[in-house]
Amino acid sequence: MDYSTTQNGNTVSISFRGEFGFSDNPKTQQIIKDVKESSCSGYSIDLSGLESIDSAGLGMLLLINDAAEEGGKNLELCSPTGQVRKMLEISKFSEIISIK
């Protein structure tokens, strides 16, 4: 998985591309660190460029969400498609994290 970030005011958008799984733990830890250290109040993860996600990837999304919540920050997932959308639906992610 590759990712990029952009900041617009008090919101940070993180765009994921490729495949998201266990091997992406170091990148996820960096995202979590950035979320914890940032003064921004909102985060949006754009999943439109993500081709696939496995159970480890789902778990890491939860860890990012936990980091945001601990800091009183909002997190939403945006534009999941294909297999990624199906995995989020099957795991009922919308009950935990806002999906748009």
Q: Give pLDDT tens digits along the chain (100 positions).
A: 999 999 999 999 999 999 999 999 999 999 999 999 999 999 999 999 999 999 999 999 999 999 999 999 999 999 999 999 999 999 999 999 999 9
Burial of 40 (0-12, 13-18, 19+ CB in 10 A): middle
pLDDT on residue 7 = 93
* CA distance linking residue 46 with residue 37, whole number of Å: 20
| DSSP strand pairing (11-20 vs 2-8) | antiparallel
pLDDT on residue 86 = 97
Domain residue spans of the chain: 2-99
Torsion of CA 84, 93, 34, 6, to 10 degrees: 50
* CA distance linking residue 30 with residue 73, whole number of Å: 17
pLDDT on residue 64 = 97
Say whether domain 2-99 belongs to CATH 3.40.50.2300.
no
